[in-house]
Amino acid sequence: MSQHDDFRLRVLIIHRNFESIYPLSCMLSDEAHNVQILAAEHLDEATRKIASALFHLILVDVNIDRRGIFHVIEELESHAPGVPTVLLTTDDQEENAEKMLKRGFMDYILCPSDFHPGIIKRVLRYARQILNNEEQIAKLSHFDQLTGVANRYLFRDRLEHAVIRSQREQKNVALLLLDINQFHTINDHYGLETGDQILVQVAERLGRNLRKQDTIA
């Protein structure tokens, strides 16, 4: 997956005739310059690509698999749970497309009449929501929710890297341990909310006075 890391949004288009929807691919790329479009000509190829990369949006042709579109959505939900899937269908199938929204599809695009900026913006919003969720989860896993500073896991990782760098460059690394006087007494007498406010203020003051390369935890 490292070869794709420069792209923030990854879209998978599953369609047997990619040339017919090439204008859609171009519009997606034009609307979001950091989007990467990958194509798969059949369901098996799509599941292989899903296994090797993280996607934020999947567009799938209604006729991609002889076993039917409901089999397709089950496979996609199994291999890419939570990834919004948009159905690609023809202009004369809008009624059927609306029914399929109840079976797991986030939206549908009528080809080619829906190839316009409004639809493109709409489907990309689904992808951006997934990306925002990922970033929020990543932040929660590395930063303290109360103060916004690094938690113990990120602190340990940063410290290990700092030690390795100091050994390689033959430079010192500094670790400063701060203690808040009578903090337990403050919690006992004034309540945990007051203690939390103090922690937040201390973190903010440290953040204003330290360098960008320093880590507060």
pLDDT tens-digit profile of 86-109? 999 887 777 777 877 777 788 888
Give dist(CA 101, CA 80) in Å, integer: 17
Cβ-Cβ contacts under 8 Å for 45 (sequence gap 6 or more): none
**Structure tokens that stand for 36 in this block:** 């990467």
> Does this model's pTM top 0.85?
no
**24, 9 contact by CB (below 8 A):** no
CATH superfamily, domain 2-142, is Response regulator (3.40.50.2300)
pLDDT digits (tens, 9 = 90+) for 20-35: 888 888 888 887 778 8
Top pLDDT among 15 and 122 is at 15
Give dist(CA 162, CA 157) in Å, integer: 9
Top pLDDT among 120 and 51 is at 51
From-to residues of CATH 3.40.50.2300 in the chain: 2-142
Please report the pLDDT score of residue 162 as a whole number.
79
